[in-house]
A and B are shown apart, each in its own frame.
Chain A
Amino acid sequence: MTSPSSNQPLLSVRDLRITFRQRERSLEAVRGVSFDLHAGRTLAIVGESGSGKSVTSLSLTRLLPPPPACRITGSALFDGRDLFKLSPAELRRVRGRDISYVFQEPATSLNPVFTVGSQIAEAVRLHLPEIKDVRAHVVAALDRVGIVDAANRYGAYPHELSGGMQQRVMIAMALACRPRVLVADEPTTALDVTIQRQILDLLRELRASSGLSVILITHNFGIVHNFADDVAVMYRGEIVEQGPCAEVLRNPQHPYTKALIACIPRLGDKRRRLTTIDHAAIARAGA
């Protein structure tokens, strides 16, 4: 494990609350979440589907609907500045340049009427104007995420690529701009394990060579176990447990974390039915 160069976290989120309002009803999707991300480290966020992992990550650069529909409170200190207090122009500079995203939805984040190569090239021109041969840079980026025959796929439209290839294009686009923080929301769900390993190796290399920090949202405990430094477990809008990966996974404290680890499907498991979570039991144990 790499140890943080200083004790000052790169990103420090405190008491984050996100409330969605529709008509008269309101839904508090995230309820008082706090976590730190250190330079060169990886924080994995795991947890229930719908527990607020994606909205937490999107809120950092305000990629959620504007205020009346969605309210964000709390603070997110990045490099000493509160991200929630930035002006729209400052925020645009942070997005992509400092913090870049691999969204959970690859297909909807790519524009269907432009080729994938031109979309990455546009992002590169915007954020790295010093690069001369943009095309070569883009092809290299596609190559690094394991797209076979990258030079020919430069001109492909998103719908001509498989789900996993679209996902890799998103990763290539996020990394092509050399961000300091990568927020990857389930970046490998559509990838087979060999490509998945290739992507994780690439991230490892960037982490070591340029101090890239990663927030990794995933449902795959194998990845958390082998790749992340810290882990935060979300359940119903709260972080119920967080800490160094090795500790939390080996010795989970919260009943939800325990139940979740028990649900992981394992090779060679001969049981007829997979274990699921009894939420009532967790509520009882938590009370």
Chain B
Amino acid sequence: MTTSATTPLVEISGLKVHYPLRGGLLRRVTGQVRAVDDVSLSIARGQTVGLVGESGSGKTTLGRALVKLAPITAGVIRYEGRDITALHGRSFLPWRKRMQMIFQDPFNSLNPRMTIASVLAEPLELHFPAMSKADRRERCASLLKRVGLDPDHLGRYPHQFSGGQRQRIGIARALAVEPEFIICDEAVSALDVSVQAQIVNLLQDLQEELGLTYLFIAHDLAVVEHISDQVVVMNRGKVVETATPEELYRAPKDPYTQRLLAAIPEPPPLAS
């Protein structure tokens, strides 16, 4: 297959991720958790697909399956038309530079024994081994500045940062290798509204500058509406609705989507 303008960047068809459910003393398999159950989805280059849904509905698992961090039970993943479902280890390495993931939990996604400088340098060492030490440091400092942190903090350890600051370090790490597709798993949930706006603007700027593609997982429906070209609603491992944000918020079809929209707490009115 050739890459044409019409081939989606990422195409998922019939993807299933099932985990065994264990119970009892011997931890025998007593059932299955269908974390992702027959999901098909396509993401065009340069687009942002918002993914919302109930907690535990398989959003993170879907994102992880795309970068081979969750075991795929069935289904096919295509990247630029090429089937990458079966690739592993070394053969998948070139794709790892092109696809990055920002992790959900900012407290758990940074190694507590590494300084911020080494956290950011690690992907650079892997994917740009020729880069000199000074260049690398330079790059790390500019990445920190990009996400609104002080470059002087490079020598600090993660526990010396607040939740929102750590989340931004995670974002900087994902940006380090200049990927073209980023899975943002609740990348802005832990941030205050101002920093959240700053990061969302940053993601949009990068998209314009570099033509990035995002899978944007979030619970804040206002942010999802703002950033997405297409919104996918998941419930219990299945996609229940796909629509543009305007359509979705104007006329939600699925009962779950309707419940979701009805439950949004009203923010305070704008002052004056």
A residues adjacent to B (C-beta < 8 A): 20, 22, 46-51, 54, 104-108, 148, 152, 155-156, 160-165, 167-168, 186, 189-197, 219-227, 249-252, 258-269, 272-277
Contact = CB atoms under 8 A, between A and B. Distances in A.
B162 interface: yes
A251 B264 CA distance: 23
Contacts of A226: 265-266
Contact of B198 (A51, A259, A276): A276
Interface in B95-126: 104-108
A71 to B, nearest CB: 16
Nearest to A252: B271
Interface residues of B, number: 62
Contact of B260 (A160, A164, A167, A192): A192
Nearest to B156: A22
B53 interface: yes
A261 B270 contact: yes
A282 B165 CA distance: 21
Contact of B105 (A106, A197, A224): A106
A186 B196 CA distance: 15
Contact of B162 (A50, A165, A273): A50
Nearest to B105: A107
8 contacts: A49-B164, A163-B104, A189-B190, A196-B265, A224-B268, A264-B268, A265-B220, A267-B221
A263 B189 contact: no
B223 interface: yes
A56 to B, nearest CB: 11
Interface string B257-272: 0011001111111110
Given A189-B190, A225-B265, A274 B201 contact: yes
Interface in B34-78: 52-57, 59-61
Contacts of A262: 270-271
A262 B194 CA distance: 9
A195 B265 contact: no
B10 to A, nearest CB: 22
A105 B52 CA distance: 21
Nearest to A156: B21
Given A269-B222, A273-B204, A49 B195 contact: yes
B176 to A, nearest CB: 21
A265 B192 contact: no
Contacts of A22: 160
B241 interface: no
B226 A269 contact: yes
- Residue with the highest number of chain B CB atoms closer than 10 Å, among A20, A163, A277: A163
Contacts of B57: 192
Contacts of B56: 148, 161-162, 164-165
B60 A163 contact: yes
